[in-house]
Structure 1
Amino acid sequence: MAEAVAEQKKSAWRTLGLALTNRKSGFMLLFGFAQGLPPALFLGTLYAWLSEAEVDLETMGVFSLVGLAYAFQFLWSPLLDKVDLPGLRRLGKRKQWIAPMQLIVGIALLIMSFLDPKSALGWFSLLAAIGAFASATQDIAINAWRIDVADETATLDILSTITQMGFRLAALIGGALGLIIAERIGWPQTYVIMGAIMLAIGIASLFAPDADVEKRSAATVAANDEEVAELYNAGEVTEKVRIRALIAVGVLWAWAIVTVVVFMVRSMTALPDDRPDVTLFTATYGPLIVIATVVLPAFIAAWVAKQKRDGTNVIIAAPGVGAGHKVKFSDHLYRALVLPLVEFVGRMGWSLVLILALVLTYRICDSIWGVFAYPFYLGELEYTGDQVAFASKFFGVFAILLGLALGGWIITKFGRMFTLTLGATLAAATNLLYADLAVGGAAMQAGSDFVGFTALVNFIAGIFQMTDIDGLARLTFTIFWENLAIGIAGAAYIAWLSSIVAKEYAAVQYALLASLTLLIGTIGRGALGQMIEDRGYYFVFIFTTMIGAVAVGLCILEWIRESRGKAKAGIVAPEAGEVMRAD
């Protein structure tokens, strides 16, 4: 006990320093960068290239389909937990997926650089889809890798912060810097550079540490089969119960996968006038797919867990059961698809309701109104494109990175739940800054003047030779504080989300929870747009502040729940400097 207390008294700076100099942290930054670069190139910068190539807007809409790979990546996440790639298992449980996917992304970018998007649009779209699918797949594996390799030095909280920093840096390089490079040397050369970067990361990934897993061998196969056969031990639910649960969950997931595939095929093969609306599909079918693949299976898993807990429909000790049972394909399928949900629901119990509510609401403040940001800046406030780019890309990205670094330090100093609650509070409060901006920004201007921020903005704007700087300081001041809050909240949220999943089922559980994060924001954007039309931006910012307050309340309840759980488990003073694991 004395040793544990002494360990908890480590300074936050020393703990942070040890974590940042750890080899795992270096690769986490690299992996975070690899996660952020492909979306910037496939979903953002690519449209600038298509515009320059005079590709029509309707055709560009087809390219937005690649975003479905990121939105619904959880649909194939069970494969990454239970399927090994032939000849690559020796790389490690996660690296066997990470490195090949990064190489595929790099190759796709390189091939795209040799094509003319207007004359070879079919190949161009196919490569973009392949690259996005590989990128989404590496995201699943990287998120699981982060949870697997976390230890006392490279804690889960620090690794989560670092991955966000890498992601944001990549978004800046693939987005704003990509545009600057393309302006000077051309788009093909720009994509050659980006493809080479992804190839280099893929090669470097081969040398990354991985989870402590055995090399693939006949003995390992036998051990895995024995692990599956444990489903037949006394006290486990009967095969009949498992088959029923597997059929129910399998049908729901099959419907979701077929729905997405059919929509993509229709969109890629239909004439321009007959193409379905991607935004409408995501808003309409997105929630239904999540209900079919997450919500309803959660109820099914709860039913299975209850059967096991109550001792009904369970296997009674008898000769021939246990590890000696012949393993069936359905056993492997049940373990890959259903058991991760059963484990999570059984472990969390009724706390799952609180967790899902927090997942659905935590990022709602920035996600629900994010699509209206540019209409607000450019249309409502009448700023120029250069002014918005200066404020959001230059100062905004810097503020997010600063927020992530600050969030990582706060987690180390005060604990994960304190930072999670603080992030939710700040994210909600910054909507009030935008409310002031919507009615003239007098308070924002006064605050910017008072702290010397206006002078700094005007000085930097002069370096960039910007002549139109009227009101630039108050816009930049507002965006700076919002993005700082987003950075702090993002660092804490990813760390918390990673901490509540089980290592054994990290890929599936994390992917499922992450898919819910922006669900409410996606559903609510249509209603929010109508609210802006009817009530105006000021009212909407007050409203989103109130929504953010709900997330704050849920954070406090989750904080209490975790504290009680730790106290019950006999963990003393678990906050500052605690070892973050996802066991």
Structure 2
Amino acid sequence: MIKHSWKQSFSAYTRPQVMGMAFLGFSAGLPFLLVFSTLSAWLRDTGVTLSVIGFFSWVGLTYSIKVIWAPVVDRLPLPFLTRLLGKRRSWMLLAQVGISAGLMTLAELNPQVQIEFIAATAVWIAFCSATQDIVIDAYRIEAIAPEYQAAMAAMYVFGYRVALLVSGAGAFYIAEYIGWNAAYSAMALCMFVGIVATLLSSEPRHKQDKQTIKLESKVETALGVQAHKGALQRLSAWFSDAVISPFADFFIRNGKMAIWILALIALYKMSDITMGVMANPFYLDIGFSKKEIADISKVFGFFMTIFGAALGGVLVLRYGLMKPLLLGAVLVASTNLLFVLLARSEPNISLLAIVISADNLSGGIATSVFIAYLSSLTNSAYTATQYALFSSLMTLPAKLMGGFSGLIVDSYGYAMFFLYASSVGLPAIILVLVLMRLQQPVDKAL
């Protein structure tokens, strides 16, 4: 990766593709809360029971299994739209129109008598939203050179965070003064930000190199598939090329480092996500009011996350990928130790601001750098499929571990829990150091 001067690194944010990611990030972030916490608030506000609201959390499974249909998005052209807009923008537009239509449908429903239709519509919106995530991730990776991926990720995070404010606080304000149906109608109109951004974007170039074609041919031969013999054989050949070849490609390209890389992907966000599960209950339990938590997290949390993400993009351009990746892992594990200090102290609003600022700054750096790292691992022939796999692997183990957080707090208290959350970040630090060492012979050879 080419290393840039500080001036060149900061100027990355003036590139049209980088600036455009803010609008696509907004489009990706807008539907998320509208099928989760904002929808739960609407349902509760209209008298829906907590047990029914709890079932709506299953809508989130859609985001966790998006890797299942990512190969379809990667390979299947859409009639008319693909010829008009190209491979990525056609799917992006279709997903955005689907989200907007779903939100507009929700705005016409009554939770008291149409709860089944609301559930089905929420699943539809989540499916379209997860599909949009697949395409935007692929577009982001293909639209610009690898060294700018952290900057692209930073702008994506910025747009996503703004969208969370709009679909969270913004929807609540509209619901308070006009009504929930009006709030969802307004959110459906906000999706036009993403639609316009898609129409104004340029389609990335797509090329399948000779090595990829050769790999797919070898996999087909190994499976005994012949694409020119019958419909079933053609379908089998498509499955081989779209689903099996992306996995084979990853292991062939990375060789003995593949297992280490997959382990790092699974563990890098472990410390951050584990701690995040208990953050808000912790703030409340040690005596901070909901207003104090909201004020600090909205002001300090929002801006420090954006600043951290932007700084991560600059660091990647200046120093390459691995050193900032190591820095992010160290910072996330270290800042969790500040929560031990907060747990041992009397409620202090200044200390809360410092801790939240440090936590969000480190999280922002780690997020943008890690997204850039994951992007660098993909093959342009299988961008959507491979990145969907990486993003699922990135969150699933951490979420499973996070489920035990409450048991640790109940048994040992918050201070010991945060020590534990910090310690689970150590494997990620070690794995980054191992990969840096393994890559040294490659770098010297180059």
Q: Residue 191 of structure 2: SS of its match in structure 1? A: helix
CA distance in 1, matches of 2:114, 2:401: 37
Task: Compute the displacement of 1:529 (Å).
Answer: 2.2
Q: Is the 8 A contact 1:229 1:324 kept in 2?
A: no
Cα gap change, 1:398/1:183 in structure 2, threshold over 3 Å: closer, same or farther? farther
User: Closer, same or farther in 2 for the Cα pair 1:325/1:390, shift >3 Å?
Assistant: same
Contact 2:215 2:245 in 1 (8 A): no
Q: 1:342 aligns with which of 223, 248, 253?
A: 248
**1:510 offset after TM fit, Å?**
0.7
Deviation by residue 1:300-339 (Cα, 9 ceiling, x = unmatched) = xxxxxxxxxxxxxxxxxxxxx9x99997321111001100
> 2:300 maps to what in 1?
395
Q: Aligned partners of 1:438, 1:94: CA distance in 2, in Å? A: 47
The reply on whether 1:120 has 2:82 as its aligned counterpart is no
1:179 match: 172
Cross-structure match for 1:562 = 439
Superposed CA RMSD in Å reads 2.6
Q: How far does residue 542 in structure 1 lie from its aligned partner after superposition?
A: 1.2
Partner of 1:69: 62
**d(CA) in 2 for partners of 1:128 and 1:171?**
17
Q: TM-score, normalised by structure 1?
A: 0.71
Consecutive unaligned residues in structure 2, runs of 5 or more: none
Aligned AA (1:81): D
Q: Which residue of 2 aligns with 1:194?
A: 187
1:221-260 residue pairs with structure 2 within 5 A? 236=218, 239=221, 241-243=222-224
Q: CA deviation at 1:238?
A: 6.8
Q: 1:427 aligns with which of 332, 336, 352?
A: 332
Greater helix proportion: 2
1:476 deviates by 2.0
1:231 shift after superposition = 6.5
Residue 46 of structure 1 corresponds to which residue in structure 2? Answer: 39
Cα deviation digits, residues 268-295 of structure 1 (max 9, x gap): xxxxxxxxxxxxxxxxxxxxxxxxxxxx
1:537 is matched with which residue?
414
Q: 2:148 corresponds to which residue?
A: 155
Q: Which moved more, 1:181-190 or 1:350-359?
A: 181-190
Bigger CA drift: 559-568 or 47-56? 559-568
Report how many aligned residue pairs link the two structures.
443
Q: Deviations over 1:1-54 (max 9, x none)?
A: xxx9xx85x52223432x322221232111111111111211121111112111
Deviation at 1:161, TM superposition (A): 2.0
Alpha-carbon offset, residue 527 of structure 1: 3.1
The amino acid of 2:367's aligned partner reads: G
Contact (CA 8 Å) 1:403, 1:484: kept in 2 or not? yes
- How far apart, in 2, do the equivalents of 1:548 and 1:131 lie? 34
Q: Does 1:328 align with 2:328?
A: no
- 2:8 is matched with 14
Aligned partner of 2:430 in structure 1 is 553
- The yes-or-no answer on 1:413 pairing with 2:315 is no
Q: Cα distance, 1:432 vs. partner? A: 0.8
User: Given the alignment, which residue of 343, 350, 367 partners 1:490?
Assistant: 367
Query: How many angstroms apart in 1 are the aligned matches of 2:101 and 2:368?
Result: 31
Partners of 1:342 and 1:200 in 2: CA distance: 38
Matched to 1:335, the amino acid is: D
The counterpart of 1:503, out of the listed 380, 383, 388, is 380
Q: Distance in 1 between matches of 2:313 and 2:353?
A: 24
Task: For residue 495 of structure 1, report the CA deviation from its aligned partner.
Answer: 0.5
Amino acid at match of 2:278: F
Shift of 1:501: 1.1
Q: Per the alignment, do residues 151 and 238 of structure 1 end up closer, same or farther by CA in structure 2, a change over 3 Å counting?
A: closer
Measure the CA separation in 1 of the matches of 2:135 and 2:331: 31
* Equivalent of residue 522 in structure 1, options 385, 389, 399: 399
* Contact kept? 1:176, 1:393, Cα under 8 Å: no
Which letter maps to 2:204? A
Q: Distance in 2 between matches of 1:56 and 1:392?
A: 29
What is residue 60 of structure 1 aligned with on the other side? 53
Q: How far apart, CA to CA, are the structure 1 residues paired with 2:214 and 2:345?
A: 66
Residue deviations 1:221-274 (CA, integer Å, cap 9, x gap): xx99x99985796xx3573x325xx9xxxxxxxxxxxxxxxxxxxxxxxxxxxx
Give the letter aligned to residue 124 of structure 1.
I
Paired position in structure 2 for 1:92: 86
Whole-angstrom distance in 1 between the partners of 2:30 and 2:403 = 29
Paired position in structure 2 for 1:352:
258
The whole-number CA distance in structure 1 between the counterparts of 2:325 and 2:216 is 41
1:474 pairs with one of 343, 348, 351: 351
**What's the offset of the Cα at 1:142?**
0.8
Shift of 1:516: 1.0
Q: In 2, Cα distance between the equivalents of 1:231 and 1:410?
A: 35
TM-superposed deviation, 1:425: 0.6
Equivalent residues of 1:228, 1:331 under 8 A apart: no
Q: 1:237 to 1:180 in 2, by over 3 A?
A: closer
Letter in 2 for 1:170: A
* Counterpart contact for 2:81–2:90, Cα < 8 Å: yes
Structure 1 residue corresponding to 2:278, chosen from 353, 372, 376: 372
Larger-gyration structure (1/2): 1
- Residues of 2 paired with 1:32 and 1:545: CA distance? 29
Contact 1:38–1:132 (CA under 8 A) maintained in structure 2: yes
Task: Give deviations 1:396-428, integer Å, cap 9, x for gaps.
Answer: 112111111121222222222111111111100
Letter in 1 for 2:96: Q
The offset of 1:213, in angstroms, is 4.1
- Give the aligned residue type for 1:377: Y
Matches within 5 A, 1:256-275: none
Distance 1:535 1:324, change over 3 A: closer
SS in structure 2 of the partner of residue 131 of structure 1: helix
CA separation in 2, counterparts of 1:238 and 1:404?
A: 42
Which residue is 1:103 aligned to?
97
SS at match of 1:206: helix
Q: Give SS of 1:328's match.
A: helix
Report the CA distance between 1:523 and its aligned residue: 2.0
Task: Measure the CA separation in 1 of the matches of 2:419 and 2:215.
Answer: 52
Structure 1 stretches of 4+ moved >4 Å:
226-233, 323-327
Separation (CA, whole Å) in 1 of partners of 2:237 and 2:149: 32
In the superposition, relative to structure 1, how do residues 329 and 376 fare at CA in structure 2: closer, same or farther (>3 Å)?
Answer: same
Distance change >3 Å, CA 527–CA 341, structure 1 → 2: same
